Each structure stands twice: as structure tokens, then as C-alpha cells.
Amino acid sequence: MRLSRYFMPILKENPKEAEIVSHRLMLRAGMIRQQSQGIYSWLPLGKRVLDKVNAIIREEQNRAGAIELSMPTLQSAELWQESGRYDAYGKEMLRIKDRQDRPMLYGPTNEEMVTDIFRSSVKSYKDLPINLYHIQLKFRDEIRPRFGTMRSREFMMKDAYSFDLTSEGAEHSYNKMFAAYLRTFDRLGLRAIPMRADTGPIGGKLSHEFIILADTGESEVFCHKDFVGFDIPGEHTDFDSVEGLKAIFDKWTSLYAATSEMHDEAAFNAVPEGDRLSARGIEVGHIFYFGTKYSEPMGAKVQGPDGKEHFVHMGSYGIGPTRLVPAIIEASHDDNGIIWPASVAPFDIVVINMKAGDQACDDTCELIHAALTKAGKDVLYDDTDDRAGTKFATADLIGVPVQIIAGPRAVANGEVEVKDRKTGARETMTIEAAINRFVA
């Protein structure tokens, strides 16, 4: 991708409205634009990161056996009247009428709709367990949208819904998502700690929030510091092993961890003082087991092996991709800008032409751009005629992990400089060596 033909509206000044670093950097790097209060466009650079985050979420959901579908954003009020939540949900729900005056709503979540899909076709325990998910926009008319896409009114959610015959089965489904979440956040370069949580308007019996520790987080959290070093379930985790997943769940819930709503001062004080971590955190995921809370009022039942009808046991599992992007920035930045983990970087490499128009520099950059693109890398080529200082500042701001810098003097020797965005380390090497480093 040539920068001269790309759309990346960089801001030179610090936007006044941004109170936290991630919001500031997302605006400065031209990743997002606010369209109205708490409603954002994702500009091309931001969209690239969001897509990479979603790809990782999707891979881990699929690995854990969940099945993707797509449900609409607009829902009919009828379904919500069936569950009893139409009145209970309050002002966060955006209620709309269509031209026939029928009440509709912009979905804040999808328990009712997915239960409706389920009950329309699944009739036997033999089709269970099943877990259906989608990655879709939600709307909640938050009283105080703020911090950019961290807390917006329209936001994206990956929401999964599990259906089981028994509560034991549902517990295994819960543990699958629990392990999948640990893997997902780890691959996004984050350390998320599962904390016992309140179930809120979703309702239910068992619930964990996945929290990233960050000074700018909106939640107050308390946990044992050993969570910071716990092992993440590996790529070959057997998601069908009931005992294996139970062991992961038990390990990750063996020490104290709770948000302020669920905080138990006495239990926390029982943790040795040096091991207590009391901090602020960002909620990036939330999982619930709520049994038959929706299946009963909505009549979602299957025939069991005993020949009788049983209401299914359900759980729901949310992750917020449009909150994760700023959360990743909160966890990984410096004074010069964003430092993307390689897994979600908008580009793998930026090639910086220090003297656009100079034949040797142009040829070298073209060669590197073509070779790395051919090797499957996402390459941004800064072919603009901006000053060197501007180019360096932009490359640092947008946080691409590797910069390959081609200046006239080095190129005359057949060399370029390779800079690591995170460490700042620079290395001079031949053009061929620079290409080979990233092709291998």
C-alpha cells in the first residue's frame, strides 16, 4: 500500500476532547472519526486493526467449537416482550417504530433472538450441545459515552450463546469459552484476568468478567498478583475434554479476583499483603451461565433421552472488539505513539523512502515493497515527499512493528536501516538481508 494513495488523516495537534491516551492516539493516527455522540466511523487504518482483532476472536471461537452466523442489528420488540426484558431494559435500549408503527429496537444484545432461532429448529438433545456466535454491531444508549470507542453507544460485540440439555453440560460449554477467552486475549498481546462478576441485566448464576489492568480503566478490581504469570492454555487444548477444561477453570479461579461490585474485603485481606493487587481495569469480555432464564419464558425445549421435554440450559459470552483496540493501545504505547503487537498491527512493515524522486531510493523501496508483499506481508510504503522528520514521526505514531528506512547514503552502499518500533533498535544491513529477514 502506497501512503501517497492511502487515506490516513493524521492529526498534528493533540485533540482536546480526548481524555485518555488511546483515544488521543486513535484520533491522531486517523483510525476513527466520531460521527455523533458515541458513534464512530472506523477509518482505513483503524479498520485494518479491528479486522485483525476480529480474525483472532473468530479463530479461537471456532477452535472451541462455536459456530458463526449473523443476526440483524434491528429486532422486533415482540421477542423482548416474551422474555420480559422489553420493559426491564430501560433507557439504554434504543426503541424505534417502523412505518406500520410496529415497535422495533436496535439490539443491545441477542439472547432473545438466538433463542428464537434455536427453538424454531432444534427439537432433540441429540443436536446438543450447540454454541452459536456472531460479530455484530450493538447499540446501548449509554448515559456517559466516553474515551472514544472504549465506551461508545454503537459498538461491536462478539456474542456467543450456548445451549445444553443439562447444567453439567452447560458448565462444560462455559469452560470452553473461558479457555477460548484466555487464548484470545493472550494472542492480542494482553493479559486478561477472569474475575467473579455481577450478572447485571443479562441475569444468571455464574459469571466472569475478563479484565485488563490499566490505570485508565473504569472498573476498580482486586486480585492476587500471581495471575499476571499464569500459563495460557496451549494451541492444542482439547476442548472436548471435560476434565481438562475444568482443570483450566479451577486453576484460573483458584486465587482471589473480583471487581468492586463483588469485592469481599475479608477474603481479599486473607491474601498475603505482598500478593495483593488492587488496581483499575478495563472489562474486555464477560461470560454468563444463566440456566433456563430465557428458555423457560420463550419455550425453548428439547426432547431428552428420557423421552421428556426439557428447557435448555444457556450461557452467553461477549467480547468487545471496538473496546479491545483502545485497550491494546492503553497497554502498549510510548511518548511517540502506538506500539502494536505484531498479531494486530495494521501493517507488518513500513518502508520509508527518505528521498522520494531519487532514482536509487525509489528503486530500492519498490523492490522491497514488491518482495515483501509477494511474501504475504502487509506493507505500507511511505512514498510521499514529506520531510524525514515527519515520516519518522508518522511511522512511530501509527505503531507498525518494523520500519525499513531507505536513505540515499545507505542505498548507495546497497544498504538500508531496519528499525524495531518497540525497542527503537536500528540495524544497517544489505537490501537482500533486510528482505530475507522478513521473507523467511
What is residue 31's three-state secondary structure?
coil
Q: What string marks each residue from 244 to 283 as x (binds Mg ion by CB under 5 A) or -?
A: ----------------------------------------
Tell me if 286 contacts ligand ATP by CB under 6 A: yes
On whether the CB atoms of residues 429 and 406 are closer than 8 A, the answer is no
Cα–Cα distance list, 16 to 25, 27, 147, 169, 328 (Å) = 12, 11, 12, 51, 22
CA distance 317 to 298: 20
Tell me if 259 contacts ligand ATP by CB under 6 A: no
Shortest distance in whole angstroms from residue 201 CB to ligand ATP: 8
Residues 6+ apart with CB under 8 A from 107: 71, 72, 73, 74, 75, 113, 136, 138, 139
Residues 6+ apart with CB under 8 A from 331: 189, 190, 212, 214
Q: What string marks each residue from 377 to 416 as x (binds ligand ATP by CB under 6 A) or -?
A: ----------------------------------------
Residue 32 or 349: the one with the smaller Cβ distance to ligand ATP is: 32
Q: How many other C-beta atoms are found inside a 10 Å radius of the C-beta of residue 256? A: 21
Shortest distance in whole angstroms from residue 411 CB to ligand ATP: 46
On whether the CB atoms of residues 8 and 44 are closer than 8 A, the answer is yes
Shortest distance in whole angstroms from residue 344 CB to ligand ATP: 16
# binding residues, Mg ion (CB under 5 A): 1
Task: Select the binding partner of residue 320 from Mg ion, ligand ATP, none (C-beta < 5 to 8 A, by kind).
Answer: ligand ATP
Shortest distance in whole angstroms from residue 336 CB to ligand ATP: 27
Task: Residue 331: name the closest of 228, 404, 231 by CA.
Answer: 228
Tell me if 299 contacts ligand ATP by CB under 6 A: no
Q: Which three cell numbers stand for residue 180?
A: 477460548
236-244, 315-323, 375-383, 398-406 -> range binding ligand ATP (CB under 6 A): 315-323
DSSP code string of 164-212: ESSHHHHHHHHHHHHHHHHHHHHHTT--EEEEE---GGG--SEEEEEEE
Q: How many other C-beta atoms are found inside a 10 Å radius of the C-beta of residue 420? A: 13
Q: Which three cell numbers stand for residue 151?
A: 465506551
Residue 320 or 407: the one with the smaller Cβ distance to ligand ATP is: 320
57-65, 78-86, 277-285, 395-403 -> range binding ligand ATP (CB under 6 A): 277-285
DSSP code string of 44-79: HHHHHHHHHHHHHHHHHHHHTT-EE----SEEEHHH
CA distance 55 to 374: 21
Task: Residue 336: name the closest of 403, 382, 417, 406 by CA.
Answer: 403
Q: At what angle do helices 44-63 and 321-331 cross, to 10 degrees?
A: 110
Q: What string marks each residue from 134 to 173 as x (binds ligand ATP by CB under 6 A) or -?
A: ------x-x--------xx--x-x----------------
Residue 291 or 321: the one with the smaller Cβ distance to ligand ATP is: 321
Shortest distance in whole angstroms from residue 170 CB to Mg ion: 19
Tell me if 286 contacts Mg ion by CB under 5 A: yes
What is residue 282's three-state secondary structure?
strand
Q: Which of 60, 116, 283, 382 binds ligand ATP (CB under 6 A)?
A: 283
Task: Select the binding partner of residue 392 from ligand ATP, Mg ion, none (C-beta < 5 to 8 A, by kind).
Answer: none
Residue 28 or 286: the one with the smaller Cβ distance to Mg ion is: 286
Tell me if 85 contacts Mg ion by CB under 5 A: no
Which single residue brings its beta carbon nearest to ligand ATP? 320
What is residue 338's three-state secondary structure?
strand
Q: Which of 176, 323, 333, 421 binds ligand ATP (CB under 6 A)?
A: 323
Tell me if 83 contacts ligand ATP by CB under 6 A: no
Task: Select the binding partner of residue 140 from Mg ion, ligand ATP, none (C-beta < 5 to 8 A, by kind).
Answer: ligand ATP
Tell me if 284 contacts ligand ATP by CB under 6 A: yes
Q: How do beta strands 379-382 and 349-353 pair?
A: parallel
Residue 125 or 133: the one with the smaller Cβ distance to ligand ATP is: 133
Positions in 177-206 near ligand ATP (CB under 6 A): 200
Q: Which of 320, 326, 399, 401 binds ligand ATP (CB under 6 A)?
A: 320
Residue 140 or 301: the one with the smaller Cβ distance to ligand ATP is: 140
Site residues, ligand ATP (CB under 6 A)? 140, 142, 151-152, 155, 157, 200, 283-286, 318-320, 322-323
Site residues, Mg ion (CB under 5 A)? 286
